[in-house]
Amino acid sequence: MPAMSSRSTRILEAAARVIARRGVRGLRVEELAAEAGVSTALVYYHFKDRTGVLRRTLEFISDRAESYTTDRDPDAPPPTPREELEEALLLELQDTVEVRENSAAWGELRASAVFEEALREDLARATLVWVQEVAALLGRVHPLAPASALAAAAERLTALLEGLSMRWLSGGVRVEHARELVRGAIDAELAGLRCD
Protein backbone atom coordinates (compact mmCIF):
# COMPACT_ATOMS: atom_id res chain seq x y z
CA MET A 1 0.00 0.00 0.00
CA PRO A 2 1.45 3.43 -0.88
CA ALA A 3 2.37 5.77 1.94
CA MET A 4 -0.63 7.74 3.16
CA SER A 5 -0.65 11.48 3.52
CA SER A 6 -0.77 12.85 7.03
CA ARG A 7 -4.33 14.07 6.38
CA SER A 8 -5.61 10.68 5.29
CA THR A 9 -3.83 9.08 8.25
CA ARG A 10 -5.47 11.62 10.56
CA ILE A 11 -8.86 10.80 9.03
CA LEU A 12 -8.29 7.05 9.52
CA GLU A 13 -7.18 7.54 13.12
CA ALA A 14 -10.34 9.58 13.70
CA ALA A 15 -12.46 6.92 11.96
CA ALA A 16 -11.06 4.23 14.27
CA ARG A 17 -11.91 6.40 17.29
CA VAL A 18 -15.44 7.16 16.07
CA ILE A 19 -16.14 3.52 15.19
CA ALA A 20 -14.78 2.36 18.55
CA ARG A 21 -17.05 4.85 20.37
CA ARG A 22 -20.21 4.81 18.24
CA GLY A 23 -19.99 1.71 16.08
CA VAL A 24 -20.11 1.51 12.31
CA ARG A 25 -23.76 2.52 12.14
CA GLY A 26 -22.91 5.63 14.15
CA LEU A 27 -20.18 6.73 11.73
CA ARG A 28 -21.27 9.91 9.97
CA VAL A 29 -18.89 11.59 7.54
CA GLU A 30 -19.62 15.01 9.07
CA GLU A 31 -18.71 13.76 12.57
CA LEU A 32 -15.63 12.01 11.19
CA ALA A 33 -14.48 15.23 9.50
CA ALA A 34 -14.97 17.18 12.73
CA GLU A 35 -13.08 14.52 14.74
CA ALA A 36 -10.19 14.63 12.24
CA GLY A 37 -10.23 18.43 11.98
CA VAL A 38 -10.80 18.40 8.22
CA SER A 39 -13.61 19.27 5.84
CA THR A 40 -16.16 16.68 4.69
CA ALA A 41 -15.01 17.39 1.13
CA LEU A 42 -11.51 16.23 2.09
CA VAL A 43 -12.89 12.99 3.52
CA TYR A 44 -14.73 12.35 0.24
CA TYR A 45 -11.64 13.34 -1.75
CA HIS A 46 -9.48 10.74 0.02
CA PHE A 47 -12.04 7.94 0.43
CA LYS A 48 -14.79 8.52 -2.18
CA ASP A 49 -17.66 7.47 0.09
CA ARG A 50 -18.55 6.02 3.50
CA THR A 51 -17.83 2.46 2.32
CA GLY A 52 -14.38 3.60 1.21
CA VAL A 53 -13.78 5.03 4.68
CA LEU A 54 -14.85 1.75 6.28
CA ARG A 55 -12.67 -0.38 4.01
CA ARG A 56 -9.60 1.77 4.50
CA THR A 57 -10.22 1.94 8.27
CA LEU A 58 -10.25 -1.86 8.37
CA GLU A 59 -6.87 -1.89 6.58
CA PHE A 60 -5.59 0.83 8.88
CA ILE A 61 -6.48 -0.99 12.11
CA SER A 62 -5.05 -4.25 10.73
CA ASP A 63 -1.79 -2.49 9.88
CA ARG A 64 -1.71 -0.74 13.24
CA ALA A 65 -2.25 -4.04 15.07
CA GLU A 66 0.56 -5.63 13.09
CA SER A 67 2.77 -2.71 14.05
CA TYR A 68 2.22 -3.00 17.81
CA THR A 69 2.36 -6.81 17.84
CA THR A 70 5.65 -7.03 15.94
CA ASP A 71 7.53 -3.96 17.19
CA ARG A 72 10.64 -5.10 19.09
CA ASP A 73 13.59 -3.49 20.77
CA PRO A 74 16.42 -3.79 18.21
CA ASP A 75 18.92 -4.35 21.02
CA ALA A 76 16.97 -7.22 22.59
CA PRO A 77 18.00 -10.79 21.77
CA PRO A 78 15.81 -12.35 19.10
CA PRO A 79 12.84 -14.20 20.57
CA THR A 80 12.45 -17.94 20.26
CA PRO A 81 9.67 -19.03 17.89
CA ARG A 82 7.48 -19.82 20.91
CA GLU A 83 8.13 -16.38 22.45
CA GLU A 84 7.38 -14.69 19.13
CA LEU A 85 4.06 -16.55 18.84
CA GLU A 86 3.05 -15.72 22.39
CA GLU A 87 4.08 -12.10 22.02
CA ALA A 88 2.13 -11.64 18.78
CA LEU A 89 -1.05 -12.87 20.43
CA LEU A 90 -0.68 -11.36 23.89
CA LEU A 91 0.15 -7.90 22.59
CA GLU A 92 -3.43 -7.81 21.27
CA LEU A 93 -4.44 -7.67 24.95
CA GLN A 94 -2.63 -4.56 26.19
CA ASP A 95 -4.42 -2.02 28.32
CA THR A 96 -3.44 0.96 26.16
CA VAL A 97 -5.63 3.50 24.41
CA GLU A 98 -4.37 2.39 20.98
CA VAL A 99 -5.05 -1.32 21.55
CA ARG A 100 -8.44 -0.70 23.19
CA GLU A 101 -9.47 1.55 20.32
CA ASN A 102 -8.18 -0.86 17.69
CA SER A 103 -9.85 -3.87 19.29
CA ALA A 104 -13.16 -2.07 19.77
CA ALA A 105 -13.15 -0.81 16.17
CA TRP A 106 -12.30 -4.32 14.87
CA GLY A 107 -15.19 -5.78 16.88
CA GLU A 108 -17.57 -3.13 15.58
CA LEU A 109 -16.48 -3.72 11.99
CA ARG A 110 -16.91 -7.49 12.44
CA ALA A 111 -20.39 -7.06 13.93
CA SER A 112 -21.46 -4.64 11.21
CA ALA A 113 -20.41 -7.05 8.45
CA VAL A 114 -23.56 -9.00 9.35
CA PHE A 115 -25.57 -6.08 7.91
CA GLU A 116 -23.08 -4.39 5.58
CA GLU A 117 -22.33 -6.92 2.88
CA ALA A 118 -19.70 -4.65 1.32
CA LEU A 119 -17.47 -5.19 4.36
CA ARG A 120 -17.70 -8.99 4.49
CA GLU A 121 -15.13 -9.73 1.81
CA ASP A 122 -12.63 -7.21 3.18
CA LEU A 123 -13.11 -8.50 6.72
CA ALA A 124 -12.77 -12.11 5.58
CA ARG A 125 -9.55 -11.23 3.76
CA ALA A 126 -8.11 -9.39 6.78
CA THR A 127 -9.05 -12.30 9.04
CA LEU A 128 -7.46 -14.81 6.65
CA VAL A 129 -4.22 -12.81 6.61
CA TRP A 130 -4.17 -12.79 10.42
CA VAL A 131 -4.85 -16.55 10.59
CA GLN A 132 -2.08 -17.19 8.06
CA GLU A 133 0.37 -15.08 10.05
CA VAL A 134 -0.42 -17.01 13.24
CA ALA A 135 -0.20 -20.33 11.35
CA ALA A 136 3.26 -19.31 10.12
CA LEU A 137 4.33 -18.54 13.70
CA LEU A 138 2.98 -21.92 14.85
CA GLY A 139 4.89 -23.53 11.99
CA ARG A 140 8.11 -21.97 13.24
CA VAL A 141 7.53 -23.69 16.59
CA HIS A 142 6.53 -27.03 14.98
CA PRO A 143 8.01 -27.02 11.47
CA LEU A 144 6.91 -30.59 10.71
CA ALA A 145 3.23 -30.05 11.57
CA PRO A 146 0.85 -30.39 8.60
CA ALA A 147 -0.31 -27.10 7.09
CA SER A 148 -3.96 -28.00 7.71
CA ALA A 149 -3.27 -28.56 11.43
CA LEU A 150 -1.39 -25.25 11.67
CA ALA A 151 -4.25 -23.40 9.96
CA ALA A 152 -6.87 -24.97 12.23
CA ALA A 153 -4.86 -24.15 15.36
CA ALA A 154 -4.35 -20.57 14.16
CA GLU A 155 -8.05 -20.17 13.46
CA ARG A 156 -8.95 -21.37 16.95
CA LEU A 157 -6.38 -19.10 18.59
CA THR A 158 -7.43 -15.98 16.67
CA ALA A 159 -11.13 -16.66 17.29
CA LEU A 160 -10.46 -17.13 21.00
CA LEU A 161 -8.44 -13.94 21.09
CA GLU A 162 -11.24 -11.98 19.40
CA GLY A 163 -13.80 -13.31 21.87
CA LEU A 164 -11.60 -12.64 24.90
CA SER A 165 -10.84 -9.16 23.60
CA MET A 166 -14.55 -8.33 23.46
CA ARG A 167 -15.08 -9.74 26.96
CA TRP A 168 -12.13 -7.70 28.25
CA LEU A 169 -13.30 -4.49 26.55
CA SER A 170 -16.82 -4.92 27.91
CA GLY A 171 -15.60 -5.59 31.45
CA GLY A 172 -16.44 -9.32 31.49
CA VAL A 173 -12.87 -10.41 32.16
CA ARG A 174 -9.71 -8.72 33.44
CA VAL A 175 -6.91 -8.31 30.91
CA GLU A 176 -4.53 -10.41 33.06
CA HIS A 177 -7.01 -13.29 33.11
CA ALA A 178 -7.60 -13.02 29.36
CA ARG A 179 -3.84 -13.22 28.81
CA GLU A 180 -3.64 -16.32 31.06
CA LEU A 181 -6.39 -17.98 29.01
CA VAL A 182 -4.55 -17.21 25.76
CA ARG A 183 -1.32 -18.69 27.19
CA GLY A 184 -3.24 -21.86 28.14
CA ALA A 185 -4.73 -22.08 24.66
CA ILE A 186 -1.28 -21.68 23.09
CA ASP A 187 0.00 -24.52 25.29
CA ALA A 188 -2.93 -26.74 24.29
CA GLU A 189 -2.59 -25.98 20.56
CA LEU A 190 1.17 -26.59 20.58
CA ALA A 191 0.66 -29.87 22.47
CA GLY A 192 -1.90 -30.90 19.87
CA LEU A 193 0.50 -30.12 17.05
CA ARG A 194 3.14 -32.37 18.66
CA CYS A 195 0.67 -35.26 18.57
CA ASP A 196 -0.15 -34.88 14.87
Cα–Cα dist 116/109, whole Å: 9
**Confidence class for position 4, pLDDT limits 50, 70, 90:** low
**Confidence class for position 70, pLDDT limits 50, 70, 90:** confident
Alpha-carbon torsion, ordered 13, 14, 15, 17, to 10 deg: 90
Among the residue ranges 16-20, 35-39, 63-67, 115-119, the one predicted with the least confidence is 115-119
Answer whether 132's CB lies under 8 Å from 145's CB.
no
pLDDT score for 193: 95
3-state helix, strand, coil in the chain (%, to 5): 75, 0, 25
Q: Which CATH class is domain 7-193?
A: mainly alpha
What is the per-residue burial (b if ≥16 Cβ within 10 Å, else e) of 39-51? Answer: eeebbeebbeebe
pLDDT tens-place string over residues 95-132: 999 999 999 999 999 998 888 888 899 999 999 999 99
State phi, psi for 5 to the nearest 5 degrees: -70, 160
pLDDT score for 133: 96
**Confidence class for position 2, pLDDT limits 50, 70, 90:** very low
As to burial, measured by CB atoms within 10 angstroms (0-12 exposed, 13-18 middle, 19+ buried), residue 18 is buried
What is this structure's pTM?
0.87
**Confidence class for position 59, pLDDT limits 50, 70, 90:** very high
Query: What sections of 113-146 are H helices per DSSP?
Result: 117-141
Cα–Cα dist 100/106, whole Å: 10
